């Protein structure tokens, strides 16, 4: 063995180097961040678990240490949609930890933040214990025996706690970037990679004649040969891959490095392939070292310490010292980042909310208190790890302890991933999912680990509680055949995802919750900050609030900067909303989003369910209503148009029909007289010997028919002129009584010929009306001729009346003829329509008379109507206004 000084001096020097690097990086605040430093700092994923534990695991089970690194590789492949989104959101919302992130997504729920913090702390305890165990084991290997195991372990814990306090909680910084820490972690990533590679190369090239020789000799050893085939069941391999995928994001320290410490989003792309490459490199020599350990080292040694014992056994003291420093790098990096992340969470999400509720605390300066809380949290977390390690550590190998923590961290994954892509995920669902998943983890992994170490009564592993077999932690509900990790992962994820989805679809989210969901899911589309502070916040109150967390002087400077950036009035008593938002962001950087929100609300007055958000919701629904209103109107309009079209079409069809009828009527009417004229003319032409008397008779018929033809054509032309408006009207004030006397006189001969009596009853004291005298006379003559035509010869009685009616004067022509059937009353005013059956009764007229009358009367603004019943005569009534 080696002397204590030989071991401890380099360790102290190494610690000094780390501090120096951190301090320089912290001083160089102005320098732009480096991508490679970010990439290397992600190497914090590789802890003592990787450094010592992988070799230990590989010595027993071959290649199945690898899924833990393949999972993060796959996550990096998905990194662009997933991690880029997380990064963007975290920048917009000033996220300080994973608890902050989850709580912010789900309505800034303080309860959720506290729950996540609690799980993160409890879940990290085994992991920190793992580091402590590795550090103390490695020191025990290197130090001369007799130093006292307890002292070494305690010393290791103290060292890690001091590291955590010095690096992570040196002071309170509103932007929550620990430049020094990142630089130190990047350096440690290089150190552990170089040290492990050195041991690997030493193994292959010095202890053996190249790696071919190593593998060839391993093939001869049955125990080593077994490792070159895959022994792991598929379910376990898959479970390890899945849990490591979740852990790559959800472990508090991974989230810290990946998201919180990221200072430039452009660094993500190189990190996405650089990080897997780092994992690849650091795992390259694990198998050769493990096989060499099996070949060269005595059986029964601690397989987890092969990295140290292999060079030590070969007498390479300096190399073993280098390996020890590499291992220390791996452990300290993990504990540093983890304790920073956890202390931030404990402080912001557990302690501050309680502090803020204590009376009297609201006015005190809290910046010192916060720092104290963080330091105490770091020491507390490390002490918990120490306690767990003392009790449980000896029972488990390193990897098994770490996997337990992975499973706990994986409980955050559903809430994060669903929360990023599904707006419907709600606070209630997230709370139920995470809580149930955590409880199942406690039951199926954490409690068994205590039981196996005899802290709890181990009997319940075999028989469950109260003798219920289905409660057995390793075979819950009778599920057997899975390894404990996969078993626990299955049940906890089933409950977690199930309740997350179920709770989300069952419980209606609040408006603020929906606003936050939108801010997360649509981060690439929506403006960064979803809520505006409505109330008026006094600047003095904001300054006081900020001062309590960062000291009055710095608060003053920050506030002035905010006012300047917002271009607000520096002298205003009430702060601009942008300034209030800025203060909230600053506070969020110190105490977390949920608490900052509550605090600013206490100053800025009522809650922010943003008028903006309300307006947006109102806006959206108004838009939708407007849209549907427009649609309805459109369709109503369409219906109206269709109806009009249908009517127009019906009228057109009717007109078309009438035109056809008209044409056929006209040709018929014209052909009848023409036919007789032609036939009689032909007879006269063909037969010169016809008697004179007959010749006279024939010629009389020809003349009569010609007259009829002429009349017909005159009437048609009249009507056509009237209807087309070509006719010239001569309106004048006329006495209707005089006109009717004239008309009666003109038609007197007709009456006498047919033996029909005409009675006049004309009021002659009426005022003149404005009318075309000739046309009105024409109407009267037409009506009288009609009356004569349809009155029975000899006994016919026709009365012509003129009297004052309401609004005008009315001319009535009443006959005692056969009357007009009701069905015919509407059609007799149409052209060529005569009452009765046109085939059997010879039309006694052109069929245009009434059509002409109606046109004339309507041109005067009056009406022409008929009133009749079959057998009782007819009354034609002309009303002239």
Partner 1 sequence: MNPDPLTGGRLAALFLLGLVLFLPPLVGLAGGGTVFGIPALFVSVYASWALVILLLALVLRRARPPDRGEGR
Residues that bind partner 1 (CB under 8 A): 62-63, 66-67, 70, 73-74, 76-78, 80-81, 84-85, 88, 211-212, 215-216, 219, 225, 228-230, 232, 234, 237-238, 241, 265-266, 268-270, 272-273, 276-277, 280, 284, 287, 522-525
Q: Between residues 211 and 255, which has the closer beta carbon with respect to partner 1?
A: 211
Q: Please tell me the distance from the alpha carbon of residue 737 to that of residue 754, in angstroms, as a whole number.
A: 25
Select 73 or 90, whichever has its Cβ closest to partner 1: 73
**Total residue count of the chain as it appears in this document:** 881
Pairing of strands 874-880, 797-805: unpaired
Smallest separation (angstroms) from partner 1 to the CB of 105: 15
8-state DSSP, 51:
I
Pairing mode of beta strands 797-805, 757-762: parallel
**To the nearest whole angstrom, how small is the minimum distance from the Cβ of residue 68 to partner 1?**
11
Specify the residue, 58 or 384, whose C-beta has the smaller distance to partner 1: 58
Residues 6+ apart with CB under 8 A from 626: none
User: Rounded CA gap, 528 and 518, in Å?
Assistant: 10
Rank residues 1 and 230 by Cβ distance to partner 1 and give the closer one: 230
Nearest CA to 50 out of 278, 286, 324, 325 is that of: 286
Interstrand relation of 808-814 and 863-868 (parallel, antiparallel or unpaired): unpaired
Pair 369, 347: CB distance under 8 Å:
no
Q: What is the largest CA-CA distance in the chain?
A: 172
Closest separation in Å from C-beta 279 to partner 1: 9
Residues 566-597, buried b or exposed e (16+ Cβ, 10 A)?
bebeeeeebbbbbbbbbbbbbbbbbbbbbbbb
Among residues 293 and 448, whose Cβ is nearest to partner 1? 293
Q: Are 177 and 253 in contact (CB under 8 A)?
A: no
Residue 319 phi/psi, 5-degree rounding, is: -65, -40
- Closest to partner 1 by CB, 142 or 287: 287
Q: What is the CA radius of gyration of the chain?
A: 54
Q: What residues pair up with 760 in beta bridges, in sequence order?
A: 800
Q: Which is nearer to partner 1, 231 or 735 (CB)?
A: 231
Residue (92 or 156) nearer to partner 1, CB: 92
Q: Tell me whether residue 234 or residue 467 sits nearer to partner 1 (CB atom).
A: 234
Residue 693's CB is within 10 A of a number of other CB atoms, namely 8
Report strand pairing: 732-734 vs 769-771: antiparallel
CA angle (868, 873, 879) in 5-degree steps: 55
State in angstroms the smallest separation of the CB of 314 from partner 1: 22
CB of 230 to partner 1, least distance (A): 3
Give residues with Cβ within 8 angstroms of 419, minimum separation 6. Answer: 102, 105, 106, 425, 430, 517, 520, 521
Q: How far is the CB of 268 from partner 1 (least distance, A)?
A: 8
* Least distance (Å) between residue 287 CB and partner 1: 6
Is the Cβ of residue 80 or residue 627 nearer to partner 1 in the bound state? Answer: 80
Q: What is the nearest approach in angstroms of partner 1 to the Cβ of residue 85? A: 6
Smallest separation (angstroms) from partner 1 to the CB of 250: 18
- On whether the CB atoms of residues 543 and 559 are closer than 8 A, the answer is yes
Residue 268 or 319: the one with the smaller Cβ distance to partner 1 is 268
Angstrom distance (rounded) from CA 543 to CA 561? 12
CB of 269 to partner 1, least distance (A): 5
- Provide, rounded to whole angstroms, the least separation between the CB of residue 271 and partner 1: 10
> What count of other Cβ atoms lies within 10 Å of the Cβ of residue 33?
15
Q: Among residues 210 and 807, whose Cβ is nearest to partner 1? A: 210
Q: Which is nearer to partner 1, 268 or 537 (CB)?
A: 268
Distance, in Å, from the CA atom of 433 to the CA atom of 500, rounded to the nearest integer, reads: 5
Min separation Cβ 62 and partner 1, Å: 8
Least distance to partner 1, CB of residue 415, Å: 19
Question: CB-based contacts of 127: which residues, under 8 Å, 6+ apart?
Answer: 47, 334, 338, 385, 401, 402, 404, 405
Instruction: Classify 864 as helix, strand or coil.
Output: strand
What's the CA gap between 303 and 296, in Å, rounded?
Answer: 12
| Helix axis angle, 4-27 to 149-168, nearest 10° | 10
Choice between 287 and 677, CB closer to partner 1: 287
User: Which burial class, exposed, middle or buried, applies to 275 when counting CB atoms under 10 A from its CB (0-12, 13-18, 19+)?
Assistant: buried
Nearest distance, CB of residue 526 and partner 1, angstroms:
9
């Amino acid at each position: 063995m080696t002397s204590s000084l030989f071991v401890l001096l380099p360790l102290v020097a190494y610690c000094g180097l780390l501090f120096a690097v951190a301090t320089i990086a912290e001083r160089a605040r102005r320098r732009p961040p480096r991508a490679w430093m970010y990439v290397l700092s992600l190497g914090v994923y590789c802890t003592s678990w990787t450094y010592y534990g992988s070799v230990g695991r590989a010595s027993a089970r071959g290649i199945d240490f690898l899924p833990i690194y393949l999972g993060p590789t796959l996550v990096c492949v998905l990194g662009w949609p997933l991690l880029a989104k997380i990064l963007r959101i975290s920048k917009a919302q000033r996220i300080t930890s994973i608890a902050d992130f989850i709580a912010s997504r789900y309505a800034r729920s303080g309860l959720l933040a506290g729950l996540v913090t609690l799980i993160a702390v409890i879940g990290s305890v085994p992991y920190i214990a793992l580091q402590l165990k590795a550090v103390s084991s490695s020191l025990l290997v290197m130090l001369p025996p007799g130093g006292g195991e307890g002292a070494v372990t305690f010393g290791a814990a103290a060292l890690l706690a001091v590291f955590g306090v010095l690096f992570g909680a040196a002071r309170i910084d509103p932007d929550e970037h620990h430049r020094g820490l990142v630089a130190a972690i990047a350096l440690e990533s290089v150190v552990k990679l170089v040290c492990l590679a050195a041991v690997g190369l030493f193994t292959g090239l010095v202890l053996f004649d190249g790696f071919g020789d190593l593998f060839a000799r391993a093939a001869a050893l049955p125990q080593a040969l077994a490792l070159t085939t895959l022994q792991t069941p598929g379910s376990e391999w898959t479970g390890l891959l899945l849990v490591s995928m979740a852990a790559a994001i959800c472990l508090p320290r991974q989230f810290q490095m990946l998201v919180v410490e990221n200072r430039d989003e452009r660094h993500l792309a190189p990190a996405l392939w650089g990080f897997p490459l780092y994992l690849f490199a650091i795992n390259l020599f694990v198998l050769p070292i493990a096989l060499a350990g099996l070949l060269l080292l005595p059986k029964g040694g601690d397989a987890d310490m092969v990295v140290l014992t292999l060079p030590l056994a070969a007498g390479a003291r300096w190399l073993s010292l280098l390996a020890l420093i590499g291992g220390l790098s791996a452990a300290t990096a993990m504990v540093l980042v983890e304790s920073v992340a956890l202390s931030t969470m404990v402080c912001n999400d557990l302690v501050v909310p309680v502090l803020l509720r204590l009376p009297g605390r609201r006015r005190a300066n809290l910046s010192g208190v916060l720092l104290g809380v963080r330091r105490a949290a770091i020491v507390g977390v490390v002490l918990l790890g120490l306690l767990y390690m003392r009790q449980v550590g000896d029972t488990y190998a390193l990897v098994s302890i770490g996997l337990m923590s992975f499973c706990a961290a994986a409980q955050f994954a559903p809430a994060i991933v669903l929360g990023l892509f599904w707006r419907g995920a709600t606070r209630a669902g997230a709370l139920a999912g995470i809580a149930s998943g955590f409880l199942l983890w406690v039951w199926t992994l954490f409690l068994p680990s205590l039981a196996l170490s005899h802290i709890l009564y181990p009997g319940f592993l075999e028989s469950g509680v109260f003798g219920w077999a289905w409660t057995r932690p390793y075979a819950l509900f009778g599920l057997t055949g899975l390894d404990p990790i996969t078993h626990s992962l299955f049940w906890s994820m089933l409950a977690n995802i199930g309740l997350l989805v179920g709770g989300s679809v069952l419980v209606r989210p609040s408006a603020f919750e929906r606003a936050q969901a939108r801010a997360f899911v649509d981060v690439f589309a929506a403006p960064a900050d979803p809520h505006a502070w409505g109330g008026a916040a006094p600047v003095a109150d904001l300054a006081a609030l900020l001062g309590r967390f960062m000291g009055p002087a710095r608060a003053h400077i920050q506030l002035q900067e905010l006012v300047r950036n917002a271009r607000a009035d520096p002298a205003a008593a009430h702060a601009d909303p942008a300034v209030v938002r800025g203060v909230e962001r600053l506070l969020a950087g110190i105490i977390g989003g949920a608490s900052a929100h509550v605090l600013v609300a206490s100053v800025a007055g009522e809650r922010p369910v943003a008028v903006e958000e309300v307006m947006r919701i109102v806006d959206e629904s108004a838009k939708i209503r407007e849209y549907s209103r427009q649609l309805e109107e459109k369709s109503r309009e369409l219906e109206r148009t269709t109806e009009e079209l249908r009517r127009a079409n019906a009228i057109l069809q009717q007109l078309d029909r009438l035109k056809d009828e008209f044409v056929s009527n006209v040709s018929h009417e014209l052909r009848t007289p023409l036919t007789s004229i032609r036939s009689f003319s032909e007879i006269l032409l063909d037969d010169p010997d016809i008697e004179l008397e007959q010749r006279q008779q024939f010629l009389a018929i020809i003349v009569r028919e010609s007259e009829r033809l002429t009349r017909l054509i005159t009437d048609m032309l009249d009507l056509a002129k009237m209807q087309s408006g070509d006719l010239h009207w001569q309106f004048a004030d006329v006495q209707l009584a005089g006109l009717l006397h004239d008309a009666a006189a003109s038609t007197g001969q007709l009456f006498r010929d047919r033996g029909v009596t005409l009675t006049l009853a004309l009021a002659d004291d009426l005022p003149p009306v404005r009318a075309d005298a000739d046309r009105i006379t024409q109407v009267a003559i037409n009506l009288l001729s009609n009356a004569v035509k349809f009155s029975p010869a000899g006994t016919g009685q026709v009365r012509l009346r003129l009297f004052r009616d309401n609004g005008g004067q009315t001319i009535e022509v009443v006959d005692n003829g056969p009357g007009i059937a009701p069905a015919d009353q509407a059609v007799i005013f149409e052209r060529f329509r005569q009452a009765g059956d046109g085939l059997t009764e010879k039309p006694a007229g052109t069929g245009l008379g009434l059509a002409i009358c109606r046109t004339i009367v309507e041109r005067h603004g009056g009406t022409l109507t008929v009133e009749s019943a079959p057998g009782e005569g007819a009354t034609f009534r002309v009303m002239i206004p």
